[in-house]
Amino acid sequence: MLKEKADMLVGDVMTPDPACCTSESGLQEVAKMMLDNDCGCIPVVDSEQSKKPVGMITDRDITLRTVAEGKNPLQMKASDVMTVNAVTVTPDTTLEECCDLMEENLIRRVAVVDENGSCCGMVAQADVAINADEARTAEVVQEVSRGASSI
């Protein structure tokens, strides 16, 4: 039985088992993970064993915080450019609550953590677009984009 869109949970729409890096991972390694996994964001975790999110790193972070500043990305680590304090949800968070968090925090992606706090998935705007109704999708994109234009 298909769930109604209003009843959807993060666990129904998330991308499971995302590639993760640690704060000590080199930026070239992180960029290669993005290429191999066809994504623009990698959760930064405290260790490969616990996988507890400590931040996020995006392709934009790498570009703006290294290349645009004339730094050599081959000599930098994830901790040099990552955004700290990743916003997280659980698989049993409603998609509506997840959208609210995306809007409030002006973010396009949210890490999903399991009962141990370990990263087990990701929800991106694309997941919202595919699974939420059109009006809700438009609202999320508009709010996140509006905030990004003021940064």
Distance CA 93, CA 75 (A): 38
Rounded mean pLDDT of the chain? 90
Average pLDDT for 23-27: 97
3: in domain: no
Number of folded domains that form the chain: 1
Instruction: Summarize pLDDT for 4-19 with one digit per residue, the tens.
Output: 566 899 999 999 999 9
2: in domain: no
84: in domain: yes
> Which residue range forms the structural domain that includes residue 20?
8-149
Please list, in sequence order, all residues whose beta carbon lies within 8 angstroms of the beta carbon of residue 64, skipping any fewer than 6 positions away: none
Place of tokens 């004339």: 70
- Asked whether residue 150 carries a pLDDT value surpassing 70, the answer given is no
29: in domain: yes
Residue 71: count other Cβ atoms within 10 Å of its Cβ: 14
Torsion angles phi and psi, residue 55, rounded to 5: 180, -175
The whole-model pTM stands at 0.87
Treating both helix axes as pointing N-terminal to C-terminal, what angle do 95-105 and 134-149 enclose, rounded to 10 degrees?
20
CATH code for position 76: 3.10.580.10
